[in-house]
Structures are given as structure tokens and as C-alpha cells.
């Protein structure tokens, strides 16, 4: 036994094929396929087969594709999903997958009990003993099968499969050899002949669909295979194709051999068609017990793999479930749990109810597998090089069909399944906060979409971009961890309407030491950005001086896909000595046609985030619209929900009425949330010193916005930024051209 499971003596392709085909040609084929043909006709039965395979064939191809790209370890489908989507999403789907596999054991054992119908009738007619409750057979069967799996393991299951598939083949052959008095040839009536008023198509589909799900049964043996990359694709695709053909021929044979009434009313109708009737109950017994064996081999290995990823909040439970016996690490404890789950559903005893539950969970799993394959085609990951390739549209059809069929089959069950999946996801995410919610596959797809969008935006005409102006800001600061004012301002502006790039400046020469410092700073800033729920892109820059840094930054390509158009500089009121280096770099930034904003922050920050004061003078013609737009954009952030804008316009007395009308008209036409009462026009005669009135009027403002003309910067220099001692944080704005407010 140990030698059988040593590394040199694992399974080949045959067990994958046999496990899959014995599950496909199982309980549904013997017990419910006659009912399906009688309910929806031969044409409807073929439609069920084809629609079902619109799910299973793409899934089989997706599994073949993924399995030939990566090493598929223990856990089969769960391993594929969790390593593609990450443990948080993967384990939520994995638990649903495990439940469907464990419940399948009960489903097949309930169906196995149906094979004893002749025994039940004989006991009643000959001895008066009533055994019509099939649980007399199913409960002992699940207990006996469980004991065999616990103490003999997969080796016994594999040996049994060869015998079972042989008997199954004989029973199908003898079924096709049989004839009845109803025997008819092909005619159009036979194609559509059904019982009127019987169950609808999608209900019948839900009952039959579990028959097709067996094609992935062999994937669960991945940890016990010599070469999973070869055995899984070959065995899975072969079983899927062979099973589909067999089902179409069986539907034909049933349609031409019995009336719809007989097909619907007699679930053992195949025994009356076969050349030797006992072979059908024998075949049913073999098929169902083999399917149960296949499920009870696969389900514990899925649970063992889930526990191996420490998904449960209990460390002891994870250890207990993943613990294996012997060199092969037989999942003894996981098998024990699976037996308990199967036992509960065996007691329920309703084949149709169990079939619908299984269908929902399998749909979730198959849809996910197809989605993985679809996303991988668009992620363009260089490491994704499968030997077998499906097609993206095939995988997309499979994924969409799963979603559509879930809600067509049973909408309440579909919502319940989704609710369970979402609940599991959040529970696991709460438990495993260290795990990323999205995995590499999504990052690859997002990268491709981002690249496409960036190229598209770059190709857009510059004139069109200028007419539809939106801020694409790059901010540079060497005081990222001393004050957060610049980062906060960038966060507010880029929340919805713009795109912000925050660059932490490390002044010095590039070396291994400064490079490592830059990486650590970037990690810290990304963490801070995540905690503040910002949409800011974080980067670092090592440069020998502030001037060289500015020269590099204004030449950076825009991360958003469009060129950066605004640079944000920052300093504290406590650092007046740094004003000089900002002023001396204004010509450099203007040469690159950047709008320039300089934030001078105070110790009180942005106060209560309620008032933004915008000061406009007669010399701020080009700056005014940009100042107003920035104020409006900042108010769009939730932190400024209770905020409002006040505009103070200083003009010559002769122009006051005209300018006020223009401002109010601009605000009205631009649908800006500025009340007319918050627009105040002040005569230049009353002002005297502009800084004095700003100090007096905006002392309590949370942000004061002031415009600057380029020629004033070169003439006045540092004086422009000083003299506002009573005012809090200030934003000085210099626009290259007038922005349009539509």
C-alpha cells in the first residue's frame, strides 16, 4: 500500500478518465434521463445535453489550459482557483466546492438505494416486509463506504473503479441491444413528443445537470498523479467528449423505445428496454457507488487542501483537518467530516432537492474556472504559457452560461448560493487580513486595461483635452512624514475629478543606500494612502537638488495616460527660508507650460474643512477660473461635505457692478455650488493693502486661495508668499492660460 503511493508509483491518466466517466454515466443517466426525455422530448433532451456542455466543455478546456501552465497540487479545482484569485476569494469558492463534492456523495448513495427496487418489491410480495423507505439501504451504505475509505483509502477506490466501469460499459451495451413493443423509427413527432403540463425545461435541466459535472471529478486526484499537467487535460477532455456522445445516443434510444408517459412514470424504464433487465439495477448500483467513491475520494482532498492554507480561524482545527496518514498523506480526518456531511443529506433522502443544491455550487465553481481562463487571456502575463490553449470567447461563454443558468434554474437558490459565497468571503477576509483581496490575475487584467486607456488618452487631440480640462497633478515634497497637508490636498483634488501623483523627494545621490531608503519610504506612503482611502499614486525620487528634481518631474509622463498639467509645491509657514528655492524654479515650470500651485501650510492644518476663501483681483484674469475650479473640486471630497466657497473679488470701483454680474453669471452657467450671498465684490479704494484685508477677512478660513501672475513672481519674488501671518493654510495659484467654466 505504501509503495502504491510513493512518489514513483502515483496514478496515471486512466484514473482521471475513469473517475470522471463513472461519475458522468451515473445516477442521472439511469434514474432521471428517461424522465427528462419524457418531459421535454428528444429535442429538449438534446438541448439539455448541449446547454449543459456549454458549461462543462469550456470548463474542461479551462482546466486543461490552467493545468498545463502550473503545477496542480493537492486540492484540484480548489488549488487552481485559490492560486489564481488568491486565498481570500479562492477559499470562499473552495468551501462551496467542497460542500458540493461532499453532498454529491449523499446524492449518489441515495440514487444507489434506488437500485434495490426489485429487492424491495420481492420482500413486500413474498414476505410482506416493507422496505419502501430507501434509507434502509442508503444509511448503511454511507456508513460502510465511509469505513472502507477511512481504512483502505484511495487504493481500494481506484481498484473498484476498473471493475465498476467494466460493469457500466456492459449495462449500457445491453441497454442499446434491447427492444420493446413500442419500438419506433425516426419521425418528427418523436422529436417533440412530451407529456403536456409537465415540469418546465429549466427545472428538468437542474435535475439532469449534475450528470455532466462529473467531468472534473478526476481533477481532485491531482495530488496523487504522476504528471497532472498531462493526465488532467487528457483525462478530463476525453471523459467530457465521450460522455456527451453517449448521452445523446441514450436519449435517442429512450425516445424510440417508450412512450413519454412510461418514461416519466417509471424511473427504472431502462431495465424494461435492456436485453437483460437485471443488468440495469446492477449497472445503476455500480455507477452510483463508483460515483460516490469518486466524490468521497475528491471531497476530503479538497477539504485537506483548504485546511492546509489555514483558512479556519482555529489553528487546531486546521491542523486536524490537514493531517494525513502514511506516506501518501491520506486525508483521514477530512474523510471523517465528509462522511458526516453526506450522512446528513442521506437522511434528507430527496434526490431532486439534493441535485438542485449541487447544481448551484457546481455552477459557481465552473463559472469561476472559466472566468480565470478568460482573464488570463487578457492579463498577458509572460509566465502564463499553457501547453494547451482554450479560446477567450469559449471561456467567456462558459462563465456567462453558469451565471445565467443559476438564476434560470432556481432564483431563490441562486441568491442563497451568492449570499453564502459573499458571507464566506467576508468571514475569511476578516480572519486573514494579511491576504490581498485580489490576486495577480486581476492585476494583470487591470494593467492591460490601463495600458490601453493610457494610449487612447495620449492619442486624443491636445485641443480637445484643453477644452475639457481636468487636473492631472504631480506633487513633490521632502517633508512627507513631517506634515500631511500637501498629501491631503492632492487626495481631495484627485478623489473624483483629477489624477494625483505624489512624489517623495530624497535629496542626495543615487546609491544602494538611498535606493533602499526610497523603497521603504514608498511602502510607508502607500500604507498611509491606503489607510486614508486616497486615489493618489505614490512614487519616490532621488535627486541631488530641488532644481534637478523639478526638472525631472516636469518631464515625467503622466501616469493617468494624459500629460501632467499642474505641479503642486509645498512648504510650511515655519520654513520661510525655503521660499527662495520655489521662486527660483518658477521660470523652469512655466517653460514646461505647467499650472503651478504652492501650498503654504499652517500649524492648524485645514481646520474644520468648512470654508474656502477665494481672492480674485483685477490682475487675476487668467488665474480666476482655475482657482474657482480647484475650490469646487476640493468640495467634492467627502471630508468637505459641510464646506462652502466664498469668493472675494477686488476690482476698481467703476467695474464693481459689471464684475459682480459676470461672476454670478459664470457661477450660474457653470452650475457651481456657490450661493450669490457668498460672492462679495470689494472696491480697490477700500482695500489699501490687499494682504491686510485678506488677513482680516480670511483669518478663520480653512483654506485661502490667492492668485499670482508670472511677472509679479519675477518682480516681487519671496514677498508674494509672506505677510499673511493671521491666515491659515494658503494655496497660491498660477495658471498658464484661462480655464473654461462650462
What is the spatial order of strands in the sheet that 703-707 belongs to?
536-543, 499-507, 472-477, 566-572, 595-601, 730-734, 703-707, 611-617, 644-651, 679-683
Higher pLDDT, 520 or 409: 520
Pairing of strands 730-734, 595-601: antiparallel
Report the C-alpha dihedral over residues 154, 158, 160, 164, rounded to 10 degrees: 140
Place of cell 486581476: 442
pLDDT (average), residues 340-351 = 78
Q: Is the pLDDT of residue 560 over 70?
A: no
Q: Residue 332 — pLDDT band, cuts 50, 70, 90?
A: confident
DSSP 8-state code for residue 186: -
Q: Which domains, ranges and CATH numbers included, belong to the chain?
A: 7-76+100-351 (1.20.1740.10), 466-573 (3.40.50), 602-742 (3.40.50.620)
pLDDT tens-digit readout, 634-679: 998 999 988 999 999 888 877 788 888 888 887 887 778 888 888 8
Place of cell 482573464: 375
The sign of the dihedral angle between the CA atoms of 264, 270, 271, 274 is positive
Place of cell 434554474: 409
Q: Is the pLDDT of residue 448 over 90?
A: no
User: Among the ranges 120-124, 136-140, 317-321, 322-326, which has the highest mean pLDDT value?
Assistant: 317-321
Q: Which pLDDT value is given to residue 731?
A: 95
DSSP 591-653: HTT-EEEEEEE-TTTTTTS-EEEEEEETT-HHHHHHHHHHHHHHHTSGGGTT-EEEEEEEE-G
Q: Which pLDDT value is given to residue 288?
A: 79
Q: Is the pLDDT of residue 315 over 90?
A: no
pLDDT tens-digit readout, 504-545: 999 999 999 999 999 999 999 998 888 888 889 999 999 999
**CA angle centred on 84, ends 78 and 89, rounded to 5°:** 65
**Candidate from 185-194, 267-276, 536-545 with smallest mean pLDDT:** 185-194
What is the rounded distance in angstroms from the CA atom of residue 694 to the CA atom of residue 698?
Answer: 5
DSSP 8-state code for residue 7: G
What is the rounded distance in angstroms from the CA atom of residue 300 to the CA atom of residue 330?
Answer: 9
Q: Residue 259 — pLDDT band, cuts 50, 70, 90?
A: confident
The grid coordinates of residue 313 equal: 480561524
What is the rounded distance in angstroms from the CA atom of residue 303 to the CA atom of residue 320?
Answer: 11
Q: Is the pLDDT of residue 488 over 90?
A: yes
C-alpha radius of gyration, the chain, whole number: 36
Q: Residue 144 — pLDDT band, cuts 50, 70, 90?
A: confident
User: Among the ranges 19-28, 186-195, 209-218, which has the highest mean pLDDT value?
Assistant: 19-28
Q: Are 356 and 409 in contact (CB under 8 A)?
A: yes
The grid coordinates of residue 467 equal: 477644452
Cβ partners under 8 Å of residue 524, min gap 6: 481
Taking residue 516's Cβ as centre, other Cβ atoms within 10 Å add up to 10
What is the rounded distance in angstroms from the CA atom of residue 34 to the CA atom of residue 252?
Answer: 10
Q: Which pLDDT value is given to residue 134?
A: 63
**Listed residue (549, 575, 630, 550) closest to 597, CA to CA:** 630
**CA angle centred on 71, ends 65 and 77, rounded to 5°:** 65
Q: Which pLDDT value is given to residue 673?
A: 80
Q: Residue 7 — pLDDT band, cuts 50, 70, 90?
A: very low
Q: Please, where are the H alpha helices in 640-730? A: 656-669, 684-687, 690-697, 710-716
**CA angle centred on 95, ends 93 and 100, rounded to 5°:** 95
Its pTM stands at 0.63
**Listed residue (353, 285, 297, 361) closest to 109, CA to CA:** 285
Amino acid at each position: 500500500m505504501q509503495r502504491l503511493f510513493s512518489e514513483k508509483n502515483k496514478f496515471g491518466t486512466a484514473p482521471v478518465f475513469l473517475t470522471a466517466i463513472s461519475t458522468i454515466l451515473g445516477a442521472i443517466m439511469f434514474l432521471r434521463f428517461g424522465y427528462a426525455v419524457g418531459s421535454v422530448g428528444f429535442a429538449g433532451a438534446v438541448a439539455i445535453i448541449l446547454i449543459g456542455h456549454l458549461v462543462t466543455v469550456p470548463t474542461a478546456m479551462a482546466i486543461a489550459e490552467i493545468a498545463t501552465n502550473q503545477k496542480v497540487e493537492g486540492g484540484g479545482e480548489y488549488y487552481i482557483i485559490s492560486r489564481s484569485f488568491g486565498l481570500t476569494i479562492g477559499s470562499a469558492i473552495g468551501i462551496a466546492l467542497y460542500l458540493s463534492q461532499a453532498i454529491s456523495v449523499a446524492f449518489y448513495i441515495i440514487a444507489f438505494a434506488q437500485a434495490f427496487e426489485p429487492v424491495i418489491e420481492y420482500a413486500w410480495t413474498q414476505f410482506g416486509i416493507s422496505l419502501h423507505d430507501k434509507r434502509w439501504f442508503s444509511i448503511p451504505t454511507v456508513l460502510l463506504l465511509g469505513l472502507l475509505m477511512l481504512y483502505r483509502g484511495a487504493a481500494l477506490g481506484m481498484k473498484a473503479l476498473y471493475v465498476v466501469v467494466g460493469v457500466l460499459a456492459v449495462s449500457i451495451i445491453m441497454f442499446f441491444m434491447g427492444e420493446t413493443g413500442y419500438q419506433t423509427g425516426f419521425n418528427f413527432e418523436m422529436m417533440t413528443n412530451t407529456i403536456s403540463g409537465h415540469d418546465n425545461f429549466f427545472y428538468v435541466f437542474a435535475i439532469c445537470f449534475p450528470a455532466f459535472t462529473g467531468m472534473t471529478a478526476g481533477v481532485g486526484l491531482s495530488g496523487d498523479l504522476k504528471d497532472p499537467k498531462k493526465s488532467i487535460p487528457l483525462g478530463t477532455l476525453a471523459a467530457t467528449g465521450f460522455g456527451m456522445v453517449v448521452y445523446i445516443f441514450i436519449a435517442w434510444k429512450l425516445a424510440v423505445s417508450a412512450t413519454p408517459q412510461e418514461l416519466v412514470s417509471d424511473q427504472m424504464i431502462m431495465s424494461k428496454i435492456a436485453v437483460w433487465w437485471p443488468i440495469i439495477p446492477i449497472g445503476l448500483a455500480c455507477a452510483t457507488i463508483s460515483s460516490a467513491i469518486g466524490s468521497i475520494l475528491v471531497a476530503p482532498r479538497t477539504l485537506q487542501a483548504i485546511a492546509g492554507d489555514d483558512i479556519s480561524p482555529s489553528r487546531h482545527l486546521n491542523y486536524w483537518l490537514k493531517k494525513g496518514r502514511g506516506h501518501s498523506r491520506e486525508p483521514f480526518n477530512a474523510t471523517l467530516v465528509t462522511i458526516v456531511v453526506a450522512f446528513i443529506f442521506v437522511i434528507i433522502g430527496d434526490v431532486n432537492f439534493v441535485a438542485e443544491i449541487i447544481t448551484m455550487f457546481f455552477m459557481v465553481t465552473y463559472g469561476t474556472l472559466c472566468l480565470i481562463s478568460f482573464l488570463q487571456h487578457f492579463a498577458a502575463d509572460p509566465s502564463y504559457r499553457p501547453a494547451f490553449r482554450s479560446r477567450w470567447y469559449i471561456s467567456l461563454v462558459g462563465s456567462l452560461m453558469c451565471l445565467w443558468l443559476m438564476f434560470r434554474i432556481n432564483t431563490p437558490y441562486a441568491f442563497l448560493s451568492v449570499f453564502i459565497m459573499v458571507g464566506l468571503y467576508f468571514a475569511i477576509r476578516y480572519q486573514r487580513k494579511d491576504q490581498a483581496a485580489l490576486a495577480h490575475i486581476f492585476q494583470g487584467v487591470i494593467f492591460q486595461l490601463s495600458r490601453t486607456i493610457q494610449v487612447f488618452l495620449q492619442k486624443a487631440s491636445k485641443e480637445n483635452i484643453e477644452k475639457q480640462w481636468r487636473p492631472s497633478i504631480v506633487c513633490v515634497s521632502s517633508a512627507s512624514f513631517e506634515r500631511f497637508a500637501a498629501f491631503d490636498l492632492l487626495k481631495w483634488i484627485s478623489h473624483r475629478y483629477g489624477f494625483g501623483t505624489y512624489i517623495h523627494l530624497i535629496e542626495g545621490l543615487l546609491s544602494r543606500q538611498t535606493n533602499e531608503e526610497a523603497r521603504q519610504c514608498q511602502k510607508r506612503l502607500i500604507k498611509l494612502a491606503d489607510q486614508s482611502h486616497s486615489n493618489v499614486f505614490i512614487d519616490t525620487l532621488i535627486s541631488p537638488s530641488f532644481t534637478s528634481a523639478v526638472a525631472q518631474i516636469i518631464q515625467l509622463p503622466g501616469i493617468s495616460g494624459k500629460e501632467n498639467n499642474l505641479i503642486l509645491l509645498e512648504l510650511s509657514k515655519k520654513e520661510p527660508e525655503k521660499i527662495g528655492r520655489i521662486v527660483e524654479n518658477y521660470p523652469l515650470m512655466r517653460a514646461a507650460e505647467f499650472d503651478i500651485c504652492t501650498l503654504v501650510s499652517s500649524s492648524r492644518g485645514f481646520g474644520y474643512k468648512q470654508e474656502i476663501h477665494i481672492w480674485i483681483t483685477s490682475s487675476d484674469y487668467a488665474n480666476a477660473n482655475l482657482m474657482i475650479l480647484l475650490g469646487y473640486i476640493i468640495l467634492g471630497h467627502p471630508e468637505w461635505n459641510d464646506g462652502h466657497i466664498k469668493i472675494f473679488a477686488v476690482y476698481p470701483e467703476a467695474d464693481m457692478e459689471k464684475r459682480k454680474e459676470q461672476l454670478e453669471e459664470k457661477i450660474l452657467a457653470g452650475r457651481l455650488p456657490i450661493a450669490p450671498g457668498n460672492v462679495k465684490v470689494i472696491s480697490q479704494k477700500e482695500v489699501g493693502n490687499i494682504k491686510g484685508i485678506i488677513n482680516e477677512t480670511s483669518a478663520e478660513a480653512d483654506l485661502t486661495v490667492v492668485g499670482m501672475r508670472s511677472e509679479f513672481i519675477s518682480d516681487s519674488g519671496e514677498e508674494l508668499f509672506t505677510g499673511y501671518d493671521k491666515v491659515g493654510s494658503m494655496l497660491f495659484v498660477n495658471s498658464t492660460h484661462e480655464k473654461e467654466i462650462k
